[in-house]
A and B are shown apart, each in its own frame.
Chain A
Amino acid sequence: MATESLGLLGIPLGILAGTLRGSAPFLFVSLGECITEKSGKINLGLEGTLLMGAMSAYGVSYLSAPSVGDFWAPWLGVLAAGLTGMTLGAVHGWLSQQPRVNDVATGIAMIIFGSGLAFFFGKPFIQPQAPQLLTFDWGAWSSSPQIQAALRVSPLFLLGIAIAPFLQWFFRATRWGLYVRAVGDSPQAAMAMGISPFRVRMLSIMAGSFLAGIGGACLSLYYPGVWTERISSGQGLMAVALVIFARWNPVQCLWASMLFGGAQAIGPAFQSVGVDAYYYLFNAAPYILTLLIMILTCSPKRSLVGSPGALGQDD
């Protein structure tokens, strides 16, 4: 099992690998939040949804493996993750649309509730190993084990990449996309058009949470491929930040997610070649990068371009 050390080449390879495997959760959660925010509501509770999704995916995969086999069990897990996400989304969607109830407050309460449920029901699943999703070995052409490992790509990641332009098209060119945007920009105008903001927002939040649940499944069934209570390093919260950073544009959400996934690998990659000073600051690289990019690209006049008009209103 001896392999040649890659030396400094290990850093870009590590970052590439980190991008391919670490960006999937960010991608799904941010795309889901994109739908929600386009309809004018913020769902901060996606952190709890992510955890519930991770737990249910792992649990269902583990429990169904004896009956459906190791190939289909993880896919059942992914489906279960989406459905539990949708359920939590329904709770958030209903509650946050009641009069005088604030989005952010509901979201934070849902984080606590969602993570509590996830940890509570997830206790029996910390120890066992659940079957993992298959991965495509795109590195098979290389004889280097490092490249082979780096290029193991999950179908979920590919699915996410496909969803991003699809959502872009959806918002721009379909009737339902128009409804979502209308409700997001001006609920009163939408009502005048005969669209029910309540229904559209409810469906948007549920769809967004469905995707976020799948994002959780990426964590527990793909990378790192375990279920523990500390599996989320704040991806849910950061994904909400990502959406605003990406100006509510699904394809830009894709690039932002990849930036984040890659940045997560910077710290360990540098340490492995001996650059071990400041490793905490390296670990904070994704956040510093995002802040810098936001400072550089925002301006007081342009900051709200693309923002759904009703976002942040309390009705």
Chain B
Amino acid sequence: MSPRKPIRFSRRQVMRSLLAATAFGAATKLSGCSPNTASSTEGGADGEAGAGAEGDVVVGFIYVGPKDDFGYNQAHAEGAAAMAQVPGIKIVEEASVPESSAVLETMRSMIEIDGATVLFPTSFGYFDPYMLELAAEFPEVQFFHAGGLYQDGVHPDNVGSYFGYIDEAQYVAGIVAAHASESGNLGFVAAKPIPQVLRNINSFTLGAKTINPEATTQVIFTGDWALPVKEAEATNSLADQGIDVVTCHVDSPKVVIETAEKRGIYSSGYHANQAPLAPEGYLTGAEWDWVSIYTFLGEQFVEGKTLMAGDIDHVFRGGLADNFCKLSPYGPAVSEAAQADAEAAREQFLAKELVIYDGELKDNQGNEILAAGDKYEQQNIALEKMDWLVEGVKGSVSG
């Protein structure tokens, strides 16, 4: 590996690369195309509002992974496809955009080249600093973030937060899991210890404990949102420890559900309905229901409503009652009693009566989180910053 380098080679390299870049530009220009005529978009080369062929509102969706991952991104993509059906809306999508400065350029490119006036960066990690930076730079473009982080007065006017209280669905799933589990040991394969994940773990456990107060949940953190080999190993380790119901919070639950089925243990799904993957062991699942939400928002955009004018709420969240999330249909292994208890809890959520974080609550280190009589309502900002695991969960939030 020892290159021999007389000086004249370097001149060659310099010229070659310089002219390479220039010729690249020349070749494309000479091949008869210019940005306005050749791009197969409807000529939306400038960042004007409604720069579509018929004055459509252009809405941009950004996903952190592939659109058909049987999980998080797919749920959003299905919602986006529903929004595209709203007359007067045109969507542009970009998938597999990492949570780094690349998303800055993607958003900017959508605004400047595609003429987007509304953006949906759907991954939690896009918010700070990327989305906030661009929101400050483009005050006439609306940014909707999938996460509950918007704070009035702190964040710019053109930013909105939407998210579903999917932990309500996980709570009900926990009830079903506790019924199905004979050992009382549940398992949770999680990606990273961020608040949304911890909320799901805690809600799942609290729901299970209403049926079996001795129930425990063993958590394994894989370290990243999509690591199939680690997720499979984690599921196998949980099964080895006698855990008989497993659920997860990773981008694509496919591996966890399939591995659980191979091990013959029950599984509870997440993000989307994975029942086809586990015909015998699938109990139920906590799914997003973005279709109705996105269709509604699409109609709002066509009517010209914006965040800045205050027509659309800055914080747009709901749980089972507002159709932000739903439960997967019950699988064959769910008993009548389990269904009855689950439906009862669901009714309470629909009536907005049930508070998950209620009464005396301790974390798994023994510290008191809530005193008896106190509660955290669903919108409480303290839940958005959760950094503890409730009593009954085996695992730790720091590596």
Contacts and interface: CB of A to CB of B under 8 A. Distances in A.
Q: Report A-B touching, CB under 8 Å.
A: yes
Interface of A: 1-7, 10, 13-14, 17-18, 22, 102, 104, 119, 123, 126-127, 129, 145-146, 149-150, 219, 223-226, 228-231, 233, 264-265, 267-269, 271-274, 276-281, 283, 312-314
Interface in B45-79: 65-66, 68-70
B242 A5 contact: yes
Contacts of B178: none
B237 A3 contact: no
A307 to B, nearest CB: 13
14 contacts: A1-B266, A3-B244, A6-B242, A14-B233, A123-B66, A145-B263, A149-B236, A228-B226, A230-B228, A231-B228, A268-B222, A269-B237, A271-B234, A273-B241
Interface of B: 1-3, 65-66, 68-70, 96, 182-183, 185, 218-223, 226-234, 236-244, 252, 254-255, 258-259, 262-266, 276-277, 394-396, 398-399
Given A6-B241, A102-B1, A277-B399, A268 B68 contact: no
A126 B69 contact: yes
Nearest to B189: A268
Given A5-B185, A22-B229, A278-B399, A268 B237 contact: yes
B254 A226 contact: yes
Contact of B241 (A10, A150, A226, A230): A10
B233 A268 contact: yes
Contacts of A223: 229, 232
A129 B244 CA distance: 23
Nearest to B266: A1
B277 A272 contact: no
A228 B183 contact: no
Given A10-B237, A223-B232, A224-B259, A276 B221 contact: yes
Given A22-B229, A228-B254, A233-B227, A14 B263 contact: no
Given A126-B70, A226-B258, A231 B229 contact: yes
Contact of A145 (B183, B264, B266): B264
A13 B72 CA distance: 33
A272 B218 contact: yes
B320 to A, nearest CB: 26
Contacts of B230: 233, 264, 267-268, 283
A62 B195 CA distance: 38
A162 B197 CA distance: 44
B68 A224 contact: no
Contacts of B244: 1-3
B1 A265 contact: no
B249 to A, nearest CB: 15
A149 B233 contact: no
Contacts of B69: 126, 228
A17 to B, nearest CB: 6
Given A18-B233, A123-B68, A224 B228 contact: yes
A149 B242 contact: no
Contacts of A313: 1
Contacts of A127: 68, 70
Most buried by B among A7, A149, A281: A149
Contact of B395 (A6, A150, A276): A276
Most buried by B among A2, A13, A314: A2
Given A18-B233, A226-B228, A233-B229, A271 B220 contact: yes
Contacts of A10: 237, 240-241
Contacts of B223: 279-280, 283
A146 B240 CA distance: 5
A127 B254 CA distance: 9
Nearest to A144: B240
Contacts of A269: 233, 237, 240
Most buried by B among A1, A102, A264: A1
Given A1-B264, A230-B227, A276-B396, A129 B239 contact: no
